[in-house]
Amino acid sequence: MKMRSMSGAGSKRGGDSARGYNRASVMKLVLEEPGIDRTRLADATGLTTAAMTRIVQELISAGLLKDVGALATGNGRGRKRSGLEIVGPGGFVLGLSILAFNSSIALTDMAGRTIETVRIDPTDIGNPQSTLDEIAAAAQALITKHKLDKGRILGAGAAIAGYLNSSGEVWDRSPYLGWPAFNVRRSLAERLKLDVTVDNVNRCIAVAESRMGCCAGTEELVLIRAALGLGGAIINAGEVLRGHTNQAGHIGHIPVDPDGQLCSCGARGCLNTIASGWAILDRLGLSDAQKVGPGTLESQENRLKKVLDLTAKGDPAAENAVREAGELLALHSKQLLFSLDPQAVVLTGPLGRNAVYCEAFRKTLTAYGITARIVTAHDHQITGPAPAAAALALATQVYAPSFDIRQLFADAPAAATAGSDEALVL
């Protein structure tokens, strides 16, 4: 498992220090190589033995590391060294997914193990206040169920079906939910009484896969989530590529035909109109239009699921429509892939789990000379939205220089959750 610290949307911890960087480096090395000893840690970080001893003792005292017994040296002679491991139950994070009709909460420990994931069915998904209230209540119930010390809940991540503004805190646009612009980070932080990191669901999955999933350690990755619509995320040099306005990765709105069909965004000929789930339904005469809204989405999602089930039964019309969409996605994303030259391309979402769509996508990319490793949800277990949000919290709040270890000691002051953005807090 690889865990890089990273900058994340909405993480507002205090200023980073040299000690914080060193502590984060030690924690990540122990996570990646359980059993590593203090001498090797000192060599890997460039710290003195004395400095390493202080940091390790601090982490042990905080309940985050533990000694795992004596390790024999290479020749079996001399003093035996004591190895170290992350204490999984030493800390926990919450992962929240807030999607049009797939909201859930994951509880994950320090080692990245998911303890439990529970689905949330909001009473009125169109109402952000009541939805966030219900999510927060369910999160508290999950903590209570597992009898966890609230002081050991180190933060939360949220994967959203929407777009944040450049501050990384304000839910600026939510076409699938119709919510107004508001400061989603602060709204969640005040309810949960935790620090919260928020990002688009596709970015959360990309972070999870590049740090602890099937592409662990990958520094250059392009993720495409193919569902009714197409979304994407880019990992560049180990970090999420955000763009000038925090909007990078909208692969579904790449223009491919100026005279094409009208997209839900209002433009004509977006990639969504020819390679998405909507496009498949349209080819089969099953789509009303690229309408948005939870009710319409759920109806069309159910239609898409039936079409994908038909491909598994060998239905020729369904197979042809799905295959063509997969080929067109590859055809029109190859320019992006040639430009970015990623190590891996990850295809996920309902279409990413379909054998026909995945085979068409893979074959077409390979035929055009794309040499990146192509990973699909049909062939691999791809992290779900809520566990991915938990992975985001671990990367940005725990295995990060900004992690405030003082919160784990009894006399630590309460962490502040207020942010600088003056947008509406619901």
**45, two tokens:** 């970080």
> Model confidence over 227-270: pLDDT tens digits?
999 999 999 999 999 999 898 998 999 999 999 988 888 889 99
C-alpha–C-alpha distance, residues 151 and 425, integer Å: 25
C-alpha–C-alpha distance, residues 167 and 158, integer Å: 15
**Domains in the chain, start-ordered, CATH in brackets?**
18-89 (1.10.10.10), 91-206+385-408 (3.30.420.40), 218-376 (3.30.420.40)
Contacts of 307 (CB under 8 A, 6+ apart): 280, 281, 284, 286, 318, 321, 322
**365, two tokens:** 């990319």
Least confident window among 62-76, 78-92, 276-290, 342-356: 62-76
Angle, vertex CA 97, rays to CA 96 and CA 100, nearest 5: 150
> Model confidence over 336-361: pLDDT tens digits?
999 999 999 999 999 999 999 999 99
**Count of helices and strands (H, E) across the chain:** 12, 15
Q: Which of 311, 252, 298 is CA-nearest to residue 102? A: 298
Contacts of 94 (CB under 8 A, 6+ apart): 105, 106, 107, 108, 139, 142, 143, 153, 155, 156, 157, 192, 194, 390, 393
Q: Which of 316, 310, 388, 320 is CA-nearest to residue 349? A: 388
* pTM of the predicted structure, to 2 decimals: 0.88
- Asked if residue 165 has pLDDT above 50, the reply is yes
